Amino acid sequence: MIVKKMKRTNFSKSKAVMISELVDYIFATHEDHDKEKLAHIGSLNFLTTTRAAQKNEMIALAEEPVQSKMPVAHWVLSWKDGEQPTPEKVDFAVRYFLQLMEWKEHQAFYAVHKNTDNLHVHILVNRLHPDTLKVHRPNRGFDIDRAHLVIAKLERIQGWASEENGVYEPSQTGNFLTLSKRDYLKLCPAAETLENATGEKSAQRIARERGHSIIMDATSWRELHEGLAEVGLRFEKKGSGALVWVGDVAVKASSVDRAFSMPKLVKRLGEFEEGDSPSERTTFNPESVTEAETIFKDEWQEYQQEKAAEKKKRALIQNRKKDAFQRWEEERKARQHGVHRKLSRHGLPIMNIGRHFLKEQQAQEKRKFRQAVESQGRPCIETQSFRHWLALNGSRKSILWRQRKRLLPGLHIEKFTFSKTSDFRPYYEGYLKKAQKKLGEHTDGSRIDSEIVLQMRLDGYDVNTSINTILNESKWAEQRTTREAKLEYASRIARVSFGTVGDVAIAKQKTEEEMRKKVVTSRTDRENCTPFTR
């Protein structure tokens, strides 16, 4: 599972408007293009029963704290491809999340959306306690860290798949332990957003890759500055902290490694000494962030070329706008000077009145001129993410981009087809035993059914046969109350297992089998070889 805290950066609107828009968004039944997205809804700890009244109730309570600009927090919990929680499991997950975040008695809305490849639930919780009227901050403000721990426990309880490089992992005793900072250096949210959007390495990642060993091995400030300069980085002190400059982007030294905070470096290297800053800062060319570069190499380079061309186009348009404003300003000053000269003949009172109305007239003219200039061509490629660009050029590569953390260098992925191994009706119970043995009996049923359909695909069964098998024989499909819900459950599982995500799973499975064969063959050869004797 993935947990994400949605940050609100625009506070120009009132609390009432922001909360109202959030509630309307999560409860909207359809997208702009009429695609149905709402799967399940719920609310907790309200005095009223209708949604409109509950929304007003949340707004009224949120208006109480004057110091808090936005007491309502927005969280998203997302399941992996193929995982489909039942409404009961969603209700439990939301209540469990709120309880461990210490918001058990707080107002909350939640809604499950199914308009994306991954089912996800939006949670709006009012952090203001209805009785004490105090805004509660879980874990002394480190709420994201607490949320990762809650998700790790929820995965264990409900049988969901864990994310690669999770923040928390269980020990042999069952207690959840945080991964060490050496093993898991998490990027800051801004850097993760940049890499997910553009596919480029962030400044924080570049600083770690190029500067970590240099700063760690430095024995003096001079050696540190010279080593960083060789790889195009700079180290500066700012206030009581330190910055590592990657071109024109500053990165906190402590975000490269906790051991690189200024107090710790001063303790190790002595009092800080300035380095010789180069006259020109190093310009870093975009680098692909994914390790599986061969899969996206051509598309990523084409994306970068279009992005660079759009950047030049944007700069050209901005220069034209700047020149247009400059010409307009010169003409305005000339007109103003002429009007002032004519008004000066009628005395100071008339001149002041004329200046007032002239100022109002020129302000209106300036607004109209700005609107006319700004309405000219507006490039959009710079705000378009690499994933969306891939989707416009083919959905398969877009899905592979989402799966990039699972892709290994040299992994061969194709649209696999398999010959049918049997003409008989698939034996569901046999597939069920194999899937439970592989994933564990406590695994969620939707994950088990996804594994079953994947194995049916490997045995040569088609999509329709797989859907009918799940519909007629899966006990987890029976938990859906309507025929439409059952069909949607089976269809989503088949779409994942027979789609690009299934191709990736099959490719990894084939690669792992080949590696096991190589290990067995190598061991057998060593055992059967004749030892050399003199």
Confidence (pLDDT) at 534: 34
pLDDT in tens, the chain (534 residues): 889 998 876 778 888 999 999 999 999 988 766 678 889 999 999 999 999 999 999 999 999 988 888 899 999 999 998 899 999 999 999 999 999 999 999 999 999 999 888 899 999 999 999 999 899 989 888 888 899 999 999 999 999 988 876 778 776 666 777 765 444 467 777 787 777 777 788 888 888 888 989 999 999 998 999 899 888 898 998 888 899 998 888 889 888 888 888 999 999 999 988 887 665 677 777 777 765 556 777 777 888 888 888 888 888 888 888 888 888 888 888 888 888 888 888 888 888 888 888 888 888 888 888 888 777 655 444 556 787 888 777 767 778 777 777 776 666 777 888 888 777 788 899 999 999 999 988 899 999 999 999 999 988 899 999 999 999 999 999 988 888 999 999 999 999 999 888 888 888 777 766 656 655 554 455 455 544 333
- Mapped onto helix, strand or coil, the DSSP state of residue 41 is strand
- For 365-399, b/e burial (b = at least 16 CB within 10 A) is eeeebeeeeeeeeebeeeebbbbebbbeeeeebbb
Name the nearest CA neighbour of 247 among 186, 187, 201, 293.
Answer: 201
Query: If residue 5 lies in a helix (H) or strand (E), which one and from where to where?
Result: strand 2-6
What is the rounded distance in angstroms from the CA atom of residue 360 to the CA atom of residue 370? 15
Same domain, 441 and 345: no
Q: Which residue has the tokens 């990657």?
A: 246
CA-to-CA separations, 289 to 195, 211, 300, 397, in angstroms, rounded: 7, 17, 10, 16
Confidence (pLDDT) at 290: 65
Residue 285 lies in a domain: no
* Residue 217: domain span: 202-269
Residue 73 lies in a domain: yes
pTM above 0.85, yes or no: no
Residue 27 lies in a domain: yes
Instruction: Identify whether the C-beta of residue 155 lies closer than 8 Å to the C-beta of residue 91.
Output: no
Residue 481 lies in a domain: yes
Same domain, 228 and 80: no
Residue 399 lies in a domain: no
Same domain, 125 and 63: yes
Residue 261 lies in a domain: yes
| Helices 51-62, 15-26: crossing angle, 10 deg rounding | 150
Q: Which residue has the tokens 């696999």?
A: 416
What is the rounded distance in angstroms from the CA atom of residue 310 to the CA atom of residue 233? 28
Same domain, 379 and 461: no
Number of separate helices (H) and strands (E) present in the chain: 18, 10
Q: Which residue has the tokens 């070889």?
A: 529
- Among 145, 178, 211, give the residue marking a domain's end: 178
Residue 525 lies in a domain: no
Same domain, 342 and 455: no
Same domain, 171 and 210: no
Residue 350 lies in a domain: yes
Confidence (pLDDT) at 409: 63
What is the rounded distance in angstroms from the CA atom of residue 504 to the CA atom of residue 502? 5
Same domain, 369 and 474: no
Same domain, 116 and 31: yes
Confidence (pLDDT) at 20: 93
Cα 203 to its chain centre, rounded Å, is 17
Alpha-carbon radius of gyration of the chain: 30
Confidence (pLDDT) at 500: 85
User: Which residues, listed in sequence order, are joined to residue 308 by a DSSP beta bridge?
Assistant: none
Same domain, 220 and 86: no
- Among 162, 178, 194, give the residue marking a domain's end: 178
Instruction: Identify whether the C-beta of residue 70 lies closer than 8 Å to the C-beta of residue 6.
Output: no
Same domain, 206 and 174: no
Q: Which residue has the tokens 């859906």?
A: 480
Confidence (pLDDT) at 387: 77
Phi, psi of 427 (to 5 degrees): -90, 100
Beta strands in 20-175 (DSSP E): 38-44, 72-78, 108-113, 120-126, 168-170
Q: How many domains, the chain?
A: 4
Same domain, 55 and 122: yes
Same domain, 31 and 157: yes
